[in-house]
């Protein structure tokens, strides 16, 4: 067998040949769940892991800070990393195997192939971060081709990412089903994110304005407001009053991310806001 067993029984895989050997060792009758991550794990990631462990015979987690999804001037080099702590958490949560590839093997110097999902990738976070979803789709497509999971677990915090990857799986006939899992929040409502560590204590206080604005919109909708422009304006005011800089706030049909002018039963509001230099995203169902 060409893969390494850690002492506690979790398989540590560092290259593609080991991954193939491990994958072949799993019986075709066993269900495989996969959680792709960029590491620096928190309770949000662990909720995905727990769902996979519960629902599958084997759970594989990948840790890879994917360079192609970061734009120029973004935080690729400063993205937080703590692989030792990640491994300890994954062991604790009953993960069967962790794949931590080297960038040189994933993107060798002669690498040329990228996956683009038109339209869905170009708006909202895609407009603010050109090339981001191309990088995400490329790495996830490669990981799915390597791992062949039955199910892949994704957090709804990255709601647009969920839809982009679902579209990719459909369009490319990939036999993996994506399972969306609910957003995990701090007690004060801030959605968990590895990037929350960038916030100073004062900014951390302001950062709750995303969740507060989502709750405000929900309340207004409950009271009969349907006009999305008016709702966005109320949310924007709350954010601006809390030192946030709005990147975008948009009401969409959650089935296809089409922008809405009026709230209906399929509405979801998506948002990205800068607090200091940290870009935070969040979303909530409004329908």
Catalytic residues: 45
Tell me the closest approach of the beta carbon of residue 250 to ligand PAF, in angstroms: 20
Handedness of CA 87, 88, 89, 93 (dihedral sign): positive
Cβ-proximal residues to 166 (8 Å cutoff; 6+ apart), any chain: 178
At 142, which helix (H) or strand (E)? Answer: helix 132-147
Tell me the closest approach of the beta carbon of residue 152 to ligand PAF, in angstroms: 9
Under rule CB under 6 A, residue 69 binds ligand PAF: yes
Site string (200-239) toward ligand PAF, x via CB under 6 A: ----------------------------------------
Under rule CB under 6 A, residue 136 binds ligand PAF: yes
Structure tokens at 149: 């999971």
Structure tokens at 270: 């998506």
Which residue, among 187, 240, 196, 236, has the nearest Cα to 216 in the 3D structure? 236
Helices (H) and strands (E) in the chain, counts: 10, 10
Distance between CA 71 and CA 74 in Å, rounded?
5
Nearer to ligand PAF, 156 or 263 (CB): 156
Part in contact with ligand PAF (CB under 6 A); list of ranges 5-13, 33-41, 70-78, 109-117: 33-41
Instruction: Give the number of other CB atoms < 10 A from CB of residue 182.
Output: 11
Part in contact with ligand PAF (CB under 6 A); list of ranges 53-61, 136-144, 168-176, 198-206: 136-144
Site string (268-287) toward ligand PAF, x via CB under 6 A: --------------------
Under rule CB under 6 A, residue 139 binds ligand PAF: yes
Under rule CB under 6 A, residue 37 binds ligand PAF: yes
Under rule CB under 6 A, residue 140 binds ligand PAF: yes
Which residue, among 76, 77, 100, 89, has the nearest Cα to 42 in the 3D structure? 89
Nearer to ligand PAF, 66 or 228 (CB): 66
Tell me the closest approach of the beta carbon of residue 114 to ligand PAF, in angstroms: 14
Which residue, among 25, 29, 45, has the nearest Cα to 37 in the 3D structure? 45
Chain contacts with ligand PAF (rule: CB under 6 A): 36-38, 66, 69, 136, 139-140, 158, 161
């Amino acid at each position: 067998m060409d893969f390494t067993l850690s002492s506690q029984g979790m398989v540590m895989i560092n290259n593609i040949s080991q991954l193939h050997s491990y994958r072949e060792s799993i019986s075709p009758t066993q269900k495989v769940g996969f959680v792709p991550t960029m590491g620096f794990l928190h309770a949000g990631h662990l909720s995905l892991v727990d769902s996979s462990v519960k629902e599958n015979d084997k759970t594989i987690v990948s840790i890879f800070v994917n360079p192609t999804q970061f734009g120029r001037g973004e935080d690729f080099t400063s993205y937080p990393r703590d692989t030792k702590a990640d491994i300890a958490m994954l062991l604790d949560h009953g993960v069967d195997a962790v794949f931590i590839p080297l960038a040189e093997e994933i993107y060798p110097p002669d690498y040329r192939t990228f996956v683009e999902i038109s339209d869905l990738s170009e708006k909202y976070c895609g407009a603010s971060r050109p090339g981001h979803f191309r990088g995400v789709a490329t790495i996830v497509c490669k990981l799915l081709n390597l791992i062949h999971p039955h199910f892949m677990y994704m957090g709804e915090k990255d709601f647009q990412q969920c839809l982009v990857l679902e579209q990719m799986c459909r369009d490319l006939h990939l036999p993996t089903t994506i399972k969306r899992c609910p957003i995990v929040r701090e007690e004060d409502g801030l959605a968990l994110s590895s990037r929350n560590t960038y916030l100073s204590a004062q900014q951390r206080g302001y950062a709750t304005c995303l969740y507060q604005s989502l709750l405000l919109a929900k309340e207004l909708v409950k009271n009969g407001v349907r006009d999305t422009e008016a709702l966005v304006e109320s949310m924007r005011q709350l954010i601006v009053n809390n030192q946030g800089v709005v990147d975008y706030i948009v009401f969409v049909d959650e089935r296809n991310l089409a922008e809405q002018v009026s709230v209906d039963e399929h509405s979801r509001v998506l948002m990205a806001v800068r607090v200091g230099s940290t870009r935070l995203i969040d979303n909530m169902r409004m329908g």
